[in-house]
Amino acid sequence: MQGKVVILSAPSGAGKSTIVRYLMGQGLHLQFSVSATNRPPRGTERQGVEYFFLSTEAFRRRIEAGDFLEYEEVYEGRFYGTLKSEVERIWQEGGHALFDIDVAGGCHLKSLYGTQALSLFIAPPNLAVLRERLEKRGTDSPEMIAQRLAKAGEEMAYAPRFDAVVVNDRLEEAQASAAALVKKFLAS
């Protein structure tokens, strides 16, 4: 049996990673698809767990080799991508692939997998709340926060292209909504 694909996308700081961690603990046979990036690790991020951290040169070589299902230059000089080998590994292990991915990549994966994929857009209640969350996170400079907020405005326009939008105003409610949507999808 081939697995399914569950895609969560959102502007940075909207809470998608927190919701992904919640979904992973719900006994749904979801396995996190580790993305690749050329940015340095933040905080306690570990190689092969949160991301595959590649040099810019190695990332470009993997693009040329056709190793990615999708990749994007999300911020100038900052690449993120989904390795084909990750989805193959998850399916071989009998799981469903769970993605925490940028909005353009999420739309691309949905177009690749069609009805085999569920795409959820995690939205912040508004940009002021998003700014507050990014500042409290304490991992980005004020310049990077400004860049992320500018990008968030563009990313919000992608929401209608997703199967469902979950507004993360109250985390517990957003987690419950996302879990209900995923359970229904996996049961279909």
Give 32-65 pLDDT, tens digit per residue. 999 999 999 988 999 999 899 999 999 999 999 9
CATH topology (fold) of 5-187: Rossmann fold (3.40.50)
Query: CA of 53: how far to CAs of 58, 61, 85, 91, in Å?
Result: 10, 14, 15, 23
**pLDDT of the residue at 93:** 95
Domains of the chain: which residue ranges? 5-187
Looking at residue 109, what DSSP letter applies?
Answer: H
Predicted local distance difference test score (pLDDT) of residue 139:
82
Residue given tokens 């993997």 in the structure block? 62
**What torsion, rounded to 10 degrees, do the Cα atoms 72, 89, 162, 50 define?**
-60
DSSP helix/strand/coil, 181 = helix
* Conformational region of residue 43, where left means phi above 0, alpha means psi within -120 to 50, and beta covers everything else: left
pTM reported for the whole predicted model: 0.87
- Report d(CA 166, CA 143) in Å as an integer: 28
